């Protein structure tokens, strides 16, 4: 197969792959690299289920071409926990039952991580605005907001 050869870094590991020029980063992650944490909800940048961080910027991986990842640093949900040690956000999502079906959860966790790294003490309004690019059809959002607030407290104390 002809394709675009890409060298990139994913969760700290050097990764190389071949992809088609019109293939999205989301498809590369899921179908070529077996990183199925990022989910495809809408495929058009509306739902945030495919959120990843590219060079420190939160993006929808469905709106990035796989070819664009050349030389970038990508963070996905698979890199969030350290071995068995969950990230405080993951822990608090469990404690607050901030998920039901779970499809939106990896995107919410990545977006919340990005939010707290840029703003460690967000107000409730800032959390709601900051996570407005992530849609959840189960929880009604309230439990997610509480979990992020609680995680922010824990992370500040750490």
Partner 1 sequence: MHERDGHYKQTLYNGRSDYDHQGETMRYIRPLSIEDAVGELAKAVGPAAILAGGSDLLVRMKGGFIEPELIVDIKRISGLADITQTADGFRIGAAVPCAVLGENKALRKAWPGVVEAANLIGSKQVQGRCTITGNLCNASPAADSVPALVAAGAKAVIAGPSGRRTIAVEAVPTGPGRTSLAKGEIIEAILLDKRPEHAGDAYLRFIPRTEMDIAVVSAGVNLTLDEKGAIKTARVALGAAAPTVLLVEEAGQVLIGSKLDEATLERLAKICAGACRPIDDKRGTIEFRRKVAGVLARRAAETAYKRAGGK
Binding site for partner 1 (CB under 8 A): 1-4, 20-24, 27, 31, 43-45, 48, 51, 54, 57-60, 62-65, 67-68, 70, 111, 114-115, 129-134
Nearest to 94 by CA among 51, 141, 144: 144
| Shortest CB 87 distance to partner 1, Å | 19
Q: What are phi and psi of 79, to 5 degrees?
A: -100, 10
Query: What one-character DSSP code corresponds to residue 29?
Result: I
- Output 115 or 151, the one with its CB closest to partner 1: 115
| Shortest CB 71 distance to partner 1, Å | 9
- Output 49 or 98, the one with its CB closest to partner 1: 49
| Shortest CB 157 distance to partner 1, Å | 25
Residue 2: partners with Cβ closer than 8 Å, 6 or more residues away: none
| Shortest CB 85 distance to partner 1, Å | 26
Q: Distance between CA atoms of 143 and 129, rounded to whole angstroms?
A: 15
What separation in angstroms does the CA of 132 have from each of 40, 77, 126? Answer: 17, 19, 10
- Output 23 or 150, the one with its CB closest to partner 1: 23
């Amino acid at each position: 197969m002809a394709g675009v050869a890409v060298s990139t870094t994913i969760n700290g590991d050097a990764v190389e792959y071949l992809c088609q020029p019109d293939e999205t980063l989301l498809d590369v992650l899921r179908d070529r690299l077996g990183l199925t944490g990022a989910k495809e909800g809408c495929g058009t940048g509306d739902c945030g289920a495919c959120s990843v961080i590219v060079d420190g910027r939160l993006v929808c991986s469905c709106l990035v071409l796989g070819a664009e990842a050349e030389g970038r640093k990508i963070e996905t949900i698979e890199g969030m926990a350290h071995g068995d040690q969950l990230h405080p956000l993951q822990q608090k999502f469990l404690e607050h039952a901030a998920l039901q079906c779970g499809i939106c959860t990896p995107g919410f966790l990545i977006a919340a991580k990005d939010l707290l790294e840029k703003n460690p003490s967000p107000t409730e309004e800032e959390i709601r605005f900051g996570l407005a690019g992530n849609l959840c059809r189960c929880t009604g959002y309230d439990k997610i907001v509480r979990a992020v607030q609680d995680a922010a407290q824990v992370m500040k104390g750490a």
